[in-house]
């Protein structure tokens, strides 16, 4: 099934400015937005922007992203959400002045893994393959001939997941992300 067949899309925390179609999205992330569940005793942050659609069963989604992450912890990419405290996000994030591919897995508390990208990286191609609740994240940045495995996460919960594009600017004034060639297929013939 393609993206058109899975409409409508929904926003969790719609940004002040965005435009898009079923396959392309331009977003200016609002300042002081984030997706992060810190250790117990600190307040979870779920103020980032997430444009999603519900998917039941197995699926494959992919998107190409160009972004100007400029401030510490600015991030953009894909998100798969089983519940408010069970989700993953993967994409580009600025960490200590360097753009990284990051994967954040949250099950009551967020844990991040990261891989440094080549200097000047502004683009990433992301692909997520979900089969039987096991979610495989693949990524490719300029200079890579093939996708690399960014991680494998099992999301507990219901058979219905919210899947889509996300961005947030926890410490900066906001930044622009352009998502293009979004596609989402669901079903057994993946």
CATH code, 87:
2.60.120.200
Joined tokens for residue 40: 């117990």
Mean pLDDT of 104-131: 94
Furthest C-alpha separation in the chain = 44
The helices-and-strands tally (H runs, E runs) of the chain is: 0, 16
Three-state secondary-structure class, residue 120: coil
pTM score: 0.93
* Nearest alpha-carbon partner for 170 in 89, 92, 73: 73
Tally of domains in the chain: 1
pLDDT of residue 2: 37
Element (H, E) at 52: strand 49-56
Q: How many CB atoms lie within 10 A of CB 173?
A: 12
Contact 127, 103 (CB under 8 A): no
Joined tokens for residue 148: 């690399």
Least confident stretch, 5-9, 55-59, 155-159 = 5-9
pLDDT of residue 3: 40
Return the percentage of the chain with pLDDT > 90, whole number.
Answer: 76
* Nearest alpha-carbon partner for 161 in 182, 138, 184: 184
Domain, as residue range, for 55: 3-186
Q: Has residue 6 got a pLDDT over 50?
A: no
Of 59 and 188, which is predicted with more confidence?
59
Three-state secondary-structure class, residue 104: strand
Joined tokens for residue 138: 């693949």
Q: Has residue 145 got a pLDDT over 80?
A: yes
**Whole-number average pLDDT of the chain:** 91
pLDDT of residue 1: 33
Mean pLDDT of 141-154: 93
Q: How many CB atoms lie within 10 A of CB 178?
A: 17
Sequence-distant (≥ 6) Cβ neighbours of residue 89 within 8 angstroms? 35, 75, 77, 78, 79, 80, 102, 103, 104, 166
């Amino acid at each position: 099934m393609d993206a058109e067949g899975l409409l409508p899309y929904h926003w969790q925390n719609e940004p002040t400015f965005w435009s898009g179609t079923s396959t392309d999205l331009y977003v200016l992330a609002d300042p002081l937005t984030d997706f992060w569940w810190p250790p117990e005793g600190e307040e979870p942050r779920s103020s980032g922007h997430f444009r999603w659609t519900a998917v039941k069963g197995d699926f494959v989604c992919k998107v190409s992203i160009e972004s100007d992450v400029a401030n510490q912890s600015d991030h953009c990419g894909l998100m798969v959400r089983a519940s408010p405290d069970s989700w993953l996000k993967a994409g580009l994030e600025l960490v200590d002045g360097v753009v990284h591919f990051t994967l954040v897995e949250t099950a009551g508390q967020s844990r991040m893994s990261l891989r440094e990208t080549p200097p000047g990286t502004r683009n990433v191609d992301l692909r997520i393959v979900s089969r039987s609740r096991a979610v495989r994240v693949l990524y490719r940045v300029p200079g890579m001939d093939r996708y690399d495995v960014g991680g494998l996460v099992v999301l507990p919960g219901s058979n219905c997941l919210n899947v889509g594009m996300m961005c947030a600017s926890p410490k900066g004034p906001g930044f622009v992300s352009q998502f293009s060639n979004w596609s989402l297929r669901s079903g057994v013939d993946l």
